[in-house]
Structure 1
């Protein structure tokens, strides 16, 4: 059975995108990382939020633009949206609700990870009790504003267990299990 994983790069002050969803800051931190390379090999499907799917791309203007993990991964993508495009997108299935998206992505992933992309969909998965793990690639930059890693108005207490902590010259990588 597939494991659901929210993988994300975050600034030291807790932002995964800058103001307006800007992802350009991320480009300089997308260098070689053995943790990322190992993760890519274990991803069987993507579950992507609609804003992430149609949003800014840190690889804009390069041959890597629009490709998962900058072109390092290929496979089935499931985008959660209420407004699927009229024209089909090759390799992408648009789904209208979280339960269907998770079920389809898990079936496609087999015994690999369903990699979740997007803060809103990650929060929805966490709220629904279907998020298993989180891996955060923390980079040495302060953005000051933007999209937070996890935002829950009114607060909440989500218990996590540290599974792994690694470092590269550009990132600190923290992998956690969601405790239920």
Structure 2
């Protein structure tokens, strides 16, 4: 089965969303990025946090809103939540527990990546020892507050190994392997 990859666009000071989950700051940095373009083709399923699914969208208010990667990707989505909507959402499965969500997303992804979206789900996957890799596009901006890429109150470090680093217009890409 495929690997679990946590990916995000992050400000230089470590935030993936601004205060209140605002993602509009990221729009100027979502331009052409060959590494992201290649990654999108390697994603078989998404494992998404409830907050991310419910509205932390840089394309809010546009025709791209609610579409993964601004409409650049289609496939099965698994949303981790304890409050599934009453009405089904096409292509989306709501799961109540991390282990079940990861298993379902891996089964749906085949040999491709399960792309983890959302800070809380990313942290939970990491703490459960399920996360294989992290891909971050570092945008040249300081937000000063918001939702961090990774926030762990105990401050215990997580060892990573750099697999790849590259430059793209408006971002520096880092691809890392989780060592533990």
Q: TM-score range by the shorter chain?
A: over 0.9
Query: Where does residue 39 of structure 2 map in the other structure?
Result: 39
TM-score by length of 1: 0.98
How far 1:4 moved relative to its partner?
Answer: 0.3
* Structure 2 Cα separation of the partners of residues 49 and 34 of structure 1: 26
How far 1:55 moved relative to its partner?
Answer: 2.1
Runs of 4+ in 1 over 3 A off after TM superposition: none
Query: Where does residue 80 of structure 1 map in the other structure?
Result: 80
Query: Where does residue 170 of structure 2 map in the other structure?
Result: 170
Q: Does 1:160 align with 2:155?
A: no
How far 1:53 moved relative to its partner?
Answer: 0.5
How far 1:50 moved relative to its partner?
Answer: 0.4
* Structure 2 Cα separation of the partners of residues 154 and 44 of structure 1: 33
SS in structure 1 of the partner of residue 46 of structure 2? strand
How far 1:169 moved relative to its partner?
Answer: 2.1
Q: Which runs of 5+ in 2 are unaligned?
A: none
SS in structure 1 of the partner of residue 5 of structure 2? strand
How far 1:56 moved relative to its partner?
Answer: 2.8
TM-score by length of 2: 0.98
* Structure 1 Cα separation of the partners of residues 6 and 167 of structure 2: 19
Query: Where does residue 29 of structure 2 map in the other structure?
Result: 29
**Correspondence list, 1:78-117, <5 A:** 78-117=78-117
* Structure 1 Cα separation of the partners of residues 61 and 148 of structure 2: 25
- 1:107-155 per-residue CA deviation (whole Å, 9 max, x = no partner) reads 0000000000000000000000000000000000000000011100021
SS in structure 2 of the partner of residue 32 of structure 1? coil
- 1:64-94 per-residue CA deviation (whole Å, 9 max, x = no partner) reads 1110000000000000000100000000000
* Structure 2 Cα separation of the partners of residues 95 and 169 of structure 1: 37
Q: Which runs of 5+ in 1 are unaligned?
A: none
SS in structure 1 of the partner of residue 162 of structure 2? strand
Contact map agreement 2:32 2:169 (CA 8 A) in 1: no
| Alpha-carbon RMSD | 0.7
SS in structure 1 of the partner of residue 135 of structure 2? strand
